Amino acid sequence: MPVRFAAGLLAAFAVLGVAASASGELVKLQPRPGIELRLAVEARPQAAAIALLFAGGHGKIQLDEGGQPQGLRGNFLIRARNHLAARGIGLVLVDAPSDRQDERGMFGWRQTAEHAGDIGVAVRAMRQRFGKPVWLVGTSAGTVSAASGAARLRGAERPDGVVLTATITQQTGGRGYTVFDVGLAAYTGPALVGSHEGDACQATPPGDAARVLAALSGARPKKLLMFSGGAPPRSPPCEAHAQHGFLGIEAQVMNAIADFILRPGP
């Protein structure tokens, strides 16, 4: 039953460099030969947990040398991330890898084993650095990244939990991939699925949220949160400044996510 709301070198990879910024730092990993994966780490050593954030769309948040996103800054997870930080959760913004910074971006890549391998490198790096639970948090197309990592990764690269918001469940625009393509039943950790009952995006219908939770058949504990209300949309239905991006209820949604990450019990 959904809960409703009203209104150095590390073993398997190389750290190529770190650049500090006012709010975090840019970390460059080499998950595959000749490939750079940029992370913006906004986390204090005393963080209770670490959340790797996967934005939607083409996934190119274009982190600059100061660790600041230059792309997709309006994305729900990017624009509202400070609400998670205020709850003591360390943030890691995950950019598209260097071989997906062209016009393709992450389209056709998020569901692949290679992408999951990149995510595993980031999970291991952050767990080794902070010694805290590492969660994958995705929104819209970023849910395919988070779901694939959760389902495929094992051992030291396995995340401690997964959060999916505005989950991609329908094939649209010729992209041909959804979270149902990544073997959700293989994942056995905590899982949170969040949706807005007014989400009018054809790729993320709120009526499919219960199907996602059911497909996470091995996840424990697991929870579905259905939100409502917010501000009138200021963008098309599948973009971030609409119910698809929880416009106007960002704090409410992020605090619900933080509650589950910090206390994932039933």
State the DSSP string of 94-126. EPPPGGG-STTTTTTTTTSHHHHHHHHHHHHHH
pLDDT value, residue 15: 43
pLDDT value, residue 201: 96
Please state, as a whole number, how many other Cβ atoms lie within 10 Å of the Cβ of residue 226: 16
User: Mean pLDDT across the chain, nearest whole number?
Assistant: 91
The H or E element spanning position 4 is strand 3-4
Q: Is the pLDDT of residue 41 over 50?
A: yes
Q: Is the pLDDT of residue 79 over 70?
A: yes
Q: Which class in CATH covers the domain with range 3-262?
A: alpha beta
Q: Are 47 and 20 in contact (CB under 8 A)?
A: no
The rounded percent of the chain whose pLDDT value lies above 90 is 86
CA separation (Å) from 157 to 9, 11, 177? 16, 11, 23
Query: Which region among 15-19, 164-168, 242-246 has the lowest average model confidence (pLDDT)?
Result: 15-19
- pLDDT confidence tier of residue 17, bands split at 50, 70 and 90: very low
Q: For residue 186, give both structure tokens.
A: 């293989």
pLDDT value, residue 105: 93
pLDDT value, residue 265: 77
Q: CA 57, CA 12: separation in Å to the nearest integer?
A: 29
Residues facing residue 89 across a β-bridge: 49
pLDDT, mean of residues 203-226: 98
Query: Which region among 1-5, 97-101, 160-164, 238-242 has the lowest average model confidence (pLDDT)?
Result: 1-5
Residues 6+ apart with CB under 8 A from 71: 60, 61, 62
Q: Is the pLDDT of residue 27 over 50?
A: yes
